[in-house]
Homo-oligomer: A and B are copies of this chain.
Amino acid sequence: MKCLIIAAGKGSRLRQRGDSKPLIPVLGVPLIERAIRSAVEAGVDGFFVVTGYQGERVRGFLGSLAAHLGVPITPLFNEDWEKEDGLSVLKAREHLHEPFLLLMSDHLFDPSIAREMMSHPPDEGEIILAVDEGIRNSLVDMEDVTRVKTEDGKIRNIGKGLTDFNGFDTGIFYCTPAIFEALEHSTEKYGETTLSGAVRILATVDRARALHISGRFWIDVDDPAAFGRAEKALLDRLRSKPNDGPVARYLNRPLSVKISRRLVKYPVTPNQISLFSFLCSMLGAGLFAFGGYPGLLMGGLLAQFASVLDGCDGEVARLKFQRSVYGGWFDAVLDRYADAFLLFGLTWHALSANPGPLMLFIGFLAIIGSFMLSYTADKYDRLMSDRIIHGNVFRLGRDVRVFLIFIGAIFNQVPLTLSLIALVMNIETIRRVIVCRDHG
């Protein structure tokens, strides 16, 4: 599947952010790179990008991006970039003889929209436009958006000035080459060189279908206000991770998102963040073991800080399209070491005040219980996911565990904390063993 991206405009309303609009970064990733990576995630394996204003710079960027992604990106050039967008689309006419995806470089979108689109190809001579039926979508700039009127899944009319409309043009198209003929027809007959003009022509002959996006994310980044909304929307999406436990959701995540927002501007990789968070935990564990109460306090703060940072690796990976199977695994492995060392540090601390086998045994149970909770969850995940009771409110994860350590350290209640962790983690493990059996 090939994809055509229009990246010719100047974007004068975003001048303050950068001179070439497609290269303006949104949370660390240039707009054109976001469009291309989203399309790759959706399954596209080749690109044509129509450049215009500052074309040389954009083409240079695309060259290195193509090499990095291992996907062919062919730059085209529209010398008439100051004119309407239909002319840019026509520049690709010679290259596209099969159905193709058509995107705007300044629109961000959830790749699942493009993926769903690609699973329903257009009929011969047809085009499909992803239409946002959410008339109350707060990300839409009502002054500037292209409005669409649909009826029974067909587009009836399209244009910026429509008063009778029930959706918005998201800028995501699945076209047959018929779009080129419609553009020429529209230009010759009506002198109308916009893409909307061509869509109107196809709509009159019932060849323009609408795909409803059902509330999924998209945004047109056209001016500083939209830019701010786009960044906020991308960050908000990070907060809605369904696996987050209560501490992650209400304490760690709001903080980590604020940190990630800054981190994306630097060339820091998610694995480096995981490693840094791990080192903070290890330092915290050392302070627990050797520091008396001041060490305990500092260690607790460090552990909780590391737990917040532990969210940033995944967030930065999502924001910068750097998610990887290895990254998730590496993070999990480091977390297990960090957990164990923190609890061992606490045990050591407790033993220096209350030496004896009981304290040692409680520390051991806390370590093993915490480990078992992660282990069962992962084996759970793989083998047992159908047996998990949905809507389980009693979600015990690393966020809760480290928070208990943090609170226990602050209040200098190490034996109590270790006992609590030992008890709760092992009981929860046993509960899982029983729940899984009963659902077997």
Contacts and interface: CB of A to CB of B under 8 A. Distances in A.
Interface of A: 324-326, 328-330, 332-333, 336-337, 340-341, 344, 348, 351, 357, 360-361, 364, 367-368, 371-372, 374-376, 378-384, 387, 429, 433, 436-437, 440
Contacts of A341: 368
Contacts of A367: 364, 367-368
A326 B372 contact: no
Contact of A371 (B336, B376, B433): B336
A367 B361 CA distance: 13
Contacts of A429: 333
A333 B379 contact: yes
Given A344-B368, A375-B375, A381-B382, 18 more contacts: A326-B387, A326-B437, A329-B376, A329-B383, A329-B384, A330-B437, A332-B379, A333-B372, A336-B372, A336-B375, A340-B368, A344-B361, A344-B364, A348-B360, A360-B360, A368-B371, A375-B378, A378-B378
Contact of A368 (B328, B337, B437): B337
Nearest to A334: B433
A186 B368 CA distance: 71
13 contacts: A324-B440, A328-B383, A329-B380, A329-B383, A330-B433, A330-B437, A333-B375, A348-B357, A348-B360, A360-B360, A364-B367, A371-B371, A375-B375
Contacts of A357: 348
B440 A376 contact: no
A383 B330 CA distance: 11
A383 B326 CA distance: 8
Contacts of A382: 378, 381-382
A348 B344 CA distance: 15
Nearest to A437: B326
Contacts of A375: 332-333, 336, 371, 374-375, 378
A296 to B, nearest CB: 17
